[in-house]
Amino acid sequence: MLMEHFNLALVDWSRAQFALTALYHWLFVPLTLGTSFIIAIMETIYVKTGKDIWKRITKFWMVLFAINFAIGVATGIILEFEFGTNWSNYSWFVGDIFGAPLAIEGIMAFFLESTFFAVMFFGWNKVSKGFHLTSTWLVALGSNLSALWILVANAWMQNPVGMHFNPETARNEMVNFWAVLFSPTAINKFLHTISSAYVMSAIFVLGVSAWFLLKKRNQALAKRSMIVASTFGLIMSVFMVITGDESAREVFRVQPMKFASMEGLYHGQTDAPLTAVGFFTKTPKPEAPNANEWGPKIKIPGMLSYMAALNTHAYVPGINDLIHGNTAHNIISYYERIKMGKLAIAALKEFQLAKKAANDSVARTALKTFEANYKYFGYGYYNDPHKLIPDVPLVFYSFHTMVGLGLLFVLIFLLTLIYGLKGKLPVKRWILYVALWAIPFAYLAQEAGWMVAEFGRQPWVVQNYMPTLSAVSNINQTSVIITFFLFGVIFTVLLIAEIKIMLNQIKQLKDGGQQ
């Protein structure tokens, strides 16, 4: 079955609906992941010191955590249902593998998180300090375990390992659970994603606390919160940079097209420079040999090669190298991959027909052909290799936005920690304004990161094996369009409601004086 046989409008609307849900969901998840640990740290200080100010601080941030947690759960449930409603072909093709980490997430992590959430939120003065503190840490652990299993599932889509394709059922089956769980892609994705979530959460705490100081309210709470948040954020931002560096090398290894798109690199080169600042003067045409149309750029010599292979002289293939091949660097062209993919698809059909007709000799021959070419199975759904290039400007700008803002956050944490330890935060109003206005940019950095991860791997839903166009359910396109706009309205209402409720909680907090 080739691409022109698919309803591409249905594919686009299904992609848009899933992207809408995922982007809204990711507005809530990072704050849950990071504030859970910040709250646990604050309560630990309360238990160790016995000072009531720390109990008050913990309870305040716990309320904001609870508001965000509830809405994040609602959007997450819808996201998982969409795998069955809009992506049933995908669920059939890889359900035995993809479903396992999601099931573990629900059984182990989510129930751990939700069970102790009740104790954490309602157990003040009902259980001992030690048990309440344990519950708070278990909520933090549970929320991050939930992220682990979801990110393992996502990482498998980016780098499918530990599986075997069953030609009789046309399904992928898991053969090595540990290979799925501990693949380098999964480890790097988890560590980088949660560390970025911790950074965003720390920026949120910093910004809200800065608002209190600017308004000269709850200054004791604000100063202490900023010290905790800036310390936590600085440590995690350094960790985020390290894990981001490791993640980039993993992308280079398993998704070279995404890596080239992140940098807008059309022509491979050794000593490849990293573009620190740059922009396209016009939208590049992927089929053109000199597609990259750039304005002025600021480059760091050799840095892209170093980021890819820890060697400033390493060769980094560009988009055109991947499309047309490069024999000098043993790069198989997408044209060849398409041919092998078509052989695999044809051989699979021949195998299934031969098995049905009990023609074992033909079945064995077809199976050998299939197994020899299955590595490029997904490419066979295409005729034009240029359709396998993601939206390069979108991926490029998202990547550089994420990196640039991440480095800015490191500086913000460093400055707030220095001024905070010196007791100068109330008089350094400029840093307070910077911290406050950093909040929306922290959310922007989070969304940009996910856009790099997900748009960068297009058109694949499972890298090399299943393109997005073959993963959608055979459903009415009108239903997808209606639910797209319905979800858009519902999610926007939920987001507005969360912002209003949080703002009310922040504004209504009574001034606790200068304790």
Span 35-61, average pLDDT: 94
Every domain of the chain and the residues it spans: 6-255+390-508, 263-389
- Does residue 390 sit in helix, strand or coil? coil
Instruction: Please list the residues that pair with 172 across neighbouring strands.
Output: 165
Residue 473 corresponds to which amino acid?
S
Stronger pLDDT, 253 or 291, i.e. the higher one: 253
For strand 163-166 and strand 171-174, is the pairing parallel, antiparallel, or unpaired? antiparallel
Most confidently predicted of 3-12, 245-254, 270-279: 245-254
- Does residue 97 sit in helix, strand or coil? helix
Please enumerate in sequence order all residues whose Cβ is within 8 A of that of 148, keeping only pairs 6 or more positions apart, or say none. Answer: 105, 109, 190
Residue 383 CA to residue 374 CA, distance in Å, equals 17
* Nearest residue to 268 (alpha-carbon basis) of 312, 308, 304, 319: 319
Average pLDDT taken over every residue of the chain: 89
pTM higher than 0.85, yes or no?
yes
CB 276 within 8 A of CB 298: yes
Residue 292 CA to residue 288 CA, distance in Å, equals 9
Q: Residue holding tokens 């993601």?
A: 390
CB 83 within 8 A of CB 95: no
CB 271 within 8 A of CB 223: no
pLDDT value of residue 298: 85
Looking at the chain, the whole-number percentage of residues with pLDDT higher than 90 is 60
Q: What is the pLDDT of residues 314-356, one digit of tens each?
A: 999 999 999 999 999 999 999 999 999 999 999 999 999 998 8
* Nearest residue to 464 (alpha-carbon basis) of 161, 192, 179: 161
Query: What are the structure tokens assigned to 414, written together?
Result: 């460093």
pLDDT value of residue 476: 87
Does the structure show a pLDDT above 60 at 514?
no
Name the DSSP class of 268: -
Query: What are the structure tokens assigned to 238, written together?
Result: 């350094």
Residue 227 corresponds to which amino acid?
I
pLDDT value of residue 133: 94
Does the structure show a pLDDT above 60 at 19?
yes
| H or E segment to which residue 76 belongs | helix 52-85
Q: Residue holding tokens 């290799």?
A: 385
Query: What are the structure tokens assigned to 503, written together?
Result: 């703002």
pLDDT value of residue 3: 40
Residue 65 CA to residue 502 CA, distance in Å, equals 9
Q: Report CA Rg, the chain.
A: 25
Query: What are the structure tokens assigned to 237, written together?
Result: 């931002």
Residue 288 CA to residue 488 CA, distance in Å, equals 37
Residue 136 CA to residue 47 CA, distance in Å, equals 12
Q: What is the 3-state secondary structure (H, E, C) of 443-505?
A: HHHHHHHHHHHHHCCCCEEECCCEEHHHCCCCCCHHHHHHHHHHHHHHHHHHHHHHHHHHHHH
Query: What are the structure tokens assigned to 173, written together?
Result: 């089956």
- Does residue 315 sit in helix, strand or coil? strand
Q: What are the angstrom distances between the C-alpha of 322 and each of 111, 153, 209, 332, 347?
A: 45, 27, 49, 7, 25
